[in-house]
Amino acid sequence: MHILHVETGRHLYGGALQVLYLVKGLKKQGCRSTLVCAKGSKIGEAASVAATIHKVPMVGELDPRFVLQLEQVIRAECPDIVHVHSRRGADFWGIIAARLNRTKVVLTRRVDNPELPRVAQIKYRLCDRVITISEGIRRVLLSEGIPAHKIVCVPSGLAIEQDNQGCKSEWFR
């Protein structure tokens, strides 16, 4: 399976860091990943060990040229799925670009603040699935009228063995 990820965050924390963990994990599972990110973002370099990287210029999150650039990358890469991770414009452009290429599109929602009802209805109607990272976020989407069958909750997690390396148990006592 080939998944094209869209992450336009400039820094490597929060959602962008989760995307990095995801592409690395998918590679271990035998999935091919392509990442479209903003030029100058930290994730492009970090994810290059696990994904093909396309760095595209973006002038703000509502840059309409982004949809054209993304559409070209999708056409060239021919992914099975476009997975949109970013918000504030990049999510909408990513969904449109995927639909222009008749590619399945999944959106991950990581925040629980409500959106404008009309915008939410249009945006989520165009998605094949919406992933939330908590039940609280799932409930917000349900309250905005998003059909339950479109929403899948995949809680954020932590690889304990990764995080406790170098920790001294005495410190916690």
pLDDT score of 169: 60
Q: What is the pLDDT of residue 163?
A: 55
Q: Which two tokens stand for residue 163?
A: 């995080």
* Tens-place pLDDT, residues 145-166: 999 999 999 998 766 665 555 6
Give the pLDDT confidence score for residue 148 in this predicted structure.
97
| Neighbouring C-beta atoms of residue 66, cutoff 10 Å | 26
**Positions in the chain short of pLDDT 70:** 88, 158-173
Give me the pLDDT at residue 90, please.
82
Q: Please name each of the domains of the chain with its CATH number.
A: 2-172 (3.40.50.2000)
The one-letter code for the residue type at 58 is: M
Predicted TM-score (pTM) of this structure: 0.88
Q: Which residues, including other chains, have CB under 8 Å from residue 164's CB and lie 6 or more apart? A: none
Q: What is the DSSP secondary structure assignment for residue 14, as one 8-state letter?
A: T
